[in-house]
Amino acid sequence: MKVAWHLPLLDRTVPPARSRQRPARLAIMACSGTKREGAGRMPAIERYNGPLWQTLRSVDPNGSLAQVAFLSARYGFRSASAEIADYDVRLTRDLTDAMIAGGMTTRWPRPRLPSMPDDAGIHPGVEIAGFHHAAREPLRDVALIGGALYLEVMRAFLVGFREMGCLASDATITEINGPIGFMRRDLRLWLQAAQNPHSKP
């Protein structure tokens, strides 16, 4: 919608404000067992306080190097800007299989009881579409960061992201897994590669 001021002998039209374009790079991070305490909700990027999340905040404090999502046994696949409550739920084999089977259209969190309405959560398709929209192009560089079960779900979700057109068919996929010291190093290098496109993490 355009807003116009009509002044004597002058017509000035102000275009609508456009949201800032975000990088076509996405870090998908496993949630953290270590969390900042606090009642109510806070953005996941502030709530999670494990070593990898500390590295993320230190290297890319303004979110200019990559968009960030997280994968959680409680909340599923979400933007790191999503506000979450404190919780303690671990990703099990059964939950891993359920997330993969649920694909792009299953909402998380799941209802506590099968009889409860399934309308409170967010499904992965909505979230990835938001990252795609923010970049204004398909995502071209994705890092999967976490343990073995988390990586299983992340890999499966990439198939759905491609089918939706939110992930480029030739996107670069980097997996970061292993001892925590190496993971912190590799995450730092992957983030910093945005500053020097010719370097490789």
Predicted TM-score (pTM) of this structure: 0.86
Residue 151's domain comprises 25-192
Query: How far apart are the C-alpha atoms of 106 and 129, rounded to whole Å?
Result: 15
Torsion over CA: 74, 39, 84, 54 (sign): negative
Quote the pLDDT of residue 121.
Answer: 85
- Residue 11 domain-assigned? no
Q: Does some domain include residue 30?
A: yes
Q: Which of 154, 136, 137 shows the shortest CA–CA distance to 145?
A: 154
What is the signed CA dihedral for 71, 73, 74, 75, rounded to 10 degrees?
20
In a domain, 6, yes or no: no
Query: Exposed, middle or buried, 153 (CB in 10 Å: 0-12/13-18/19+)?
Result: buried
Quick one: pLDDT at residue 200?
52
Report the phi/psi class of residue 67: left, alpha or beta, with left for phi > 0 and alpha for psi in -120 to 50: beta
Asked whether residue 15 is domain-assigned, the answer is no
16 inside domain: no
- Closest C-alpha to 52, from 24, 26, 33, 38: 33
Identify whether 176 is part of a domain: yes
Asked if the structure places residue 20 within a domain, the reply is no
Name the stretches of the chain with pLDDT < 50.
1-17
CB contact at 8 A, 68 and 56: yes
Instruction: Please enumerate in sequence order all residues whose Cβ is within 8 A of that of 149, keeping only pairs 6 or more positions apart, or say none.
Output: 91, 92, 93, 96
For the chain, how many structural domains are there in total? 1
* C-alpha dist (Å) from residue 184 to 22, 52, 60, 153: 23, 6, 13, 21
- The answer as to whether 18 is a domain residue is no
